[in-house]
Structure 1
Amino acid sequence: MAAPSRLLPRLVRPRQHYLSSRRAFQTSTQSSIIPSYAFAFDIDGVLLRSSNPIPGAHDALTYLQRNRIPFILLTNGGGKSETERVEELSYKLDVELNVDMFVQSHTPFAEMHEYKDKTVLVVGGDHDKCQRVATEHYDFTSVVTPGDLVAAYPDIWPFSSVFKDYYSSFAKPLPKAINPASPDSLKIDAIFVYNDPRDWGLDSTIILDLLLSSQGRLGTLSKKNGNTSLPNNGYQQDSQPPLYYSNPDLWWASSHPLSRLGQGGFRSAFNGLWKEVTGGAKLEHTIFGKPFQPTYEFAERRLRAHRKQLFGQVGLNDPLRRVYMVGDNPESDIRGANNYQSQHGSQWQSLLVKTGVYQDGTVPSCEPTVIVKDVGEAVRWAVEDAKTM
């Protein structure tokens, strides 16, 4: 599917300083030969640690750009628009980037056209940033957040008074009132977890209410729940909204010396809650992000489109034979690259760096093609490896 119009490339020019002092990579004269390999880089733990560039990240990306070797950034992070995130990354890494080189965890949600004209719940992220991504960049017409709901109906979460000022600062009016006795009551057609939830209590309560509801109408309980004559003991058998997570990461590398819980932590906690409430019923849900095949398919389409733009129409019959995935998380970056089956015949190699989630000296849960010190060493290794093709 074609990328949404709101995600067309936007060039971002970084600040200009200390470029001449960096000589870690030797650059060659730009070649007209189209390389048969490319890169995909994770961000947190590979290029940045929290908001700080990891040494060598600028040099590695600059080397690739000067030598016209295509790459994209493929992250399980999110919570902001692609344009905003690319602007920040361009500044922090001091590298010219544009949106067509960037895929974050919820970018594939932009292609879920079946929900564009329905009412959806968007969970996670700071304030209303994810809601604005959905409406202003992905063209969803009716988006509700847990903050909107608790601001309109404080009793929906008994402990909401602690966060009253926070939610009131961005809450928007609901498209409809919650009135379980009325057929015109607020109805939610899909649940999207865009980014790591901040208020696990409120968010899990709202999601649970919807998955136990009748047809996604808040304030109702499905009469099919617990019916042992129905599949899954009647749970999620009454047109409840489907649940979509944007990524499965249990851990992510922050400025703290130990990795912090990510969206996968919330998902695991909610799975436990669902099991307790339903007596062990299966929770139907869909997970995007690395390591799953659909996200890698989306990323490869984006990479090939960027490669085409970079070189124009000439010579693009030359195959993209190899893609080097550089990541810090064995469970997402490495497992995803190892398991990915390219529909175009490209071979994906996994390069694990020691600057993020992976702890040097331990055995990674998924074995990479190679373990390297950092992103600079990853690029140098890959460029040499590509010569053997």
Structure 2
Amino acid sequence: MATPVTPVIRRSLANTGRIRCRNLQRQRSFQTKVTQSKIPNFGFAFDIDGVLVRSSTPIPGAHKALSYLQDERIPFVLLTNGGGKSEEERVRDLQEKLDVPLDTGMFLQSHTPFANLKQYHDKTVLVVGGDHDKCQRVAQGYGYKNVVTPGDIYTAYPDIWPFGKPFEEVYKAFAKPPPKPINLESPPDSLKIDAIFVYNDPRDWGLDASLILDLMLSEQGILGTLSKKNGDSSLPNNGYLQDGQPALYYSNPDLWWASSYHLNRLGQGGFQFAFDGLWNAVTGGAKLEKTTIGKPTQATYEYAENLLRQHRKKIWGPVGLNDPLKRVYMVGDNPESDIQGANNYQSPHGSDWTSVLVKTGVWKEGQEPSHKPDIIHENVSEAVQWAVEDARKRGSA
């Protein structure tokens, strides 16, 4: 039986069709054309915030650059340290803003790799950051069955954070009962957290930091307990994190990001540095075990390259894999994440990565980049024009 075409599906198809039609009709200003007698053996990875959009506003030239690459069948992926929404929601939003057809197979958010940590899918995890319960729903979409937010815990136990009153109504609007109560009289029946995930920039640093600290000092991750091993000098790390505390994961280390405000704003890395300082003060400098993914880590760039290779195969078919992907141009605005990551990345597939820094985001002209890019351009449009010409000269197009 054929699937009925509902009004919602019909509108979605119409919108996608209009986008494709406009892209085909619009005159291109790029002068360089790739040679279509062979498959281009290069591709692109683009940061989003500060490269393609700034807050909710498209950056001039972004539509032109991406449309050109799609017309020429040159593969690209969007590689961002942003997050806080599902991949599907973020792709819909970007497709509308940039006026180009996109799909989730071209898109990697900072927390996307968390989907692969299947050892926690049946455990109880604390998810921190983002607006309301969006990150909780993202985690559930990744396959996590028991996901708790700080808002859930605060609403059930307001005494856990004495300064939460101004946010109380906000939390009540989305909070859900935790899977277990805080029941210290019967620890096996009490709320136990097996892993902590910071998916996106925390909104209420006080509550979030307090709960993470409680759990990292707890016994076996049971909320409300305090490990007797803490401070024991006879144990490794003075006894801290020696009693089955939950693993701590951050989705990215970005200290700054480019918003609609004229000065850069603190990102998730700001919270991470703040919590490190809090941990050091409380424990006297004990080592804090944590895992940070996102740009510039090797794992995230490897994940992105695999996405790019899959997307290239989708564009050109299996024959595309017979001609290796030799070069990837990483276009970003942040030397600490985009440029450092591209410069340091060791491709398991043998491709070379070229770092391209643009002036439309975090980095400002006149500053010395903390990590030197291969080249600097005004914006993404100029970056793509240069890269395609560079690939042609190298015999890649």
The residue aligned with 1:352 is 357
Change beyond 3 A, Cα 1:259–1:15 = farther
Give the TM-score, by structure 2 length.
Answer: 0.93
Determine if contact 1:188/1:241 at 8 Å carries over to the other structure.
Answer: yes
Deviates more, 1:18-27 or 1:360-369: 18-27
Distance 1:93 1:33 in 2: 29
Superposition pairs of residues 66-77 of structure 1, within 5 angstroms? 66-77=71-82
Report the Cα offset of residue 179 of structure 1. 1.1
Distance 1:30 1:77 in 2: 35
Distance 2:320 2:173 in 1: 53
Q: Confirm or deny that 1:267 pairs with 2:285.
A: no
Superposition pairs of residues 229-248 of structure 1, within 5 angstroms? 229-248=234-253
Which residue of 125, 128, 137 maps to 2:130?
125
2:356 is paired with a residue whose SS is strand
Superposition pairs of residues 338-349 of structure 1, within 5 angstroms? 338-349=343-354
Report the Cα offset of residue 181 of structure 1. 2.5
Distance 1:28 1:331 in 2: 32
Report the Cα offset of residue 220 of structure 1. 0.2
2:189 is paired with a residue whose SS is coil
1:316 is paired with a residue whose SS is helix
1:95 is paired with a residue whose SS is coil
The residue aligned with 2:3 is none
Which residue of 332, 337, 340 maps to 1:332?
337
Determine if contact 1:15/1:94 at 8 Å carries over to the other structure.
Answer: no
The residue aligned with 1:57 is 62
The residue aligned with 1:286 is 291
Distance 2:381 2:34 in 1: 20
Q: Deviations over 1:237-266 (max 9, x none)?
A: 111000000000000000000000000000
> 2:167 is aligned with what amino acid?
F
> 1:145 is aligned with what amino acid?
T
Report the Cα offset of residue 224 of structure 1. 0.7
Q: Unaligned stretches of 5+ in structure 1?
A: 1-9
Q: Unaligned stretches of 5+ in structure 2?
A: 1-11
Superposition pairs of residues 3-152 of structure 1, within 5 angstroms? 13=16, 16=19, 20=25, 23-26=28-31, 28=33, 31=36, 33-135=38-140, 137-152=141-156
Q: Deviations over 1:61-113 (max 9, x none)?
A: 00000000000000000000000000000000000000000000000001110
> 1:359 is aligned with what amino acid?
K
* Runs of 4+ off more than 4 Å: 14-22, 26-30
Determine if contact 1:225/1:234 at 8 Å carries over to the other structure.
Answer: yes
1:24 is paired with a residue whose SS is coil
Report the Cα offset of residue 29 of structure 1. 8.5
Determine if contact 1:13/1:96 at 8 Å carries over to the other structure.
Answer: yes
Report the Cα offset of residue 277 of structure 1. 0.4
Determine if contact 2:82/2:110 at 8 Å carries over to the other structure.
Answer: yes
Q: Confirm or deny that 1:379 pairs with 2:379.
A: no
Determine if contact 1:13/1:97 at 8 Å carries over to the other structure.
Answer: no
Change beyond 3 A, Cα 1:29–1:285 = closer
Which residue of 151, 158, 170 maps to 1:166?
170
The residue aligned with 1:3 is none
Distance 2:104 2:37 in 1: 24
> 2:343 is aligned with what amino acid?
N
Distance 2:156 2:270 in 1: 28
Distance 1:87 1:128 in 2: 19
2:363 is paired with a residue whose SS is coil
The number of aligned residues is 379
Distance 1:328 1:375 in 2: 10
> 1:284 is aligned with what amino acid?
E
Distance 1:54 1:22 in 2: 19
CA RMSD of aligned residues (A): 1.7
Distance 2:273 2:106 in 1: 31
The residue aligned with 1:200 is 205
2:100 is paired with a residue whose SS is coil
Distance 2:205 2:232 in 1: 29
Give the TM-score, by structure 1 length.
Answer: 0.94
> 1:181 is aligned with what amino acid?
E
Deviates more, 1:311-320 or 1:228-237: 311-320
1:314 is paired with a residue whose SS is helix
The residue aligned with 2:8 is none
Distance 1:15 1:228 in 2: 67
2:318 is paired with a residue whose SS is coil
Determine if contact 1:14/1:90 at 8 Å carries over to the other structure.
Answer: no
Which residue of 305, 320, 326 maps to 2:325?
320
> 1:163 is aligned with what amino acid?
F
Distance 1:214 1:315 in 2: 53
Distance 1:388 1:67 in 2: 17
Change beyond 3 A, Cα 1:112–1:185 = same
User: Structure 1 or 2: larger helix share?
Assistant: 2
Distance 1:353 1:28 in 2: 22
Determine if contact 1:22/1:59 at 8 Å carries over to the other structure.
Answer: no
* Paired-residue identity, %: 69
Distance 1:198 1:15 in 2: 37
> 1:375 is aligned with what amino acid?
V
Q: Confirm or deny that 1:157 pairs with 2:147.
A: no
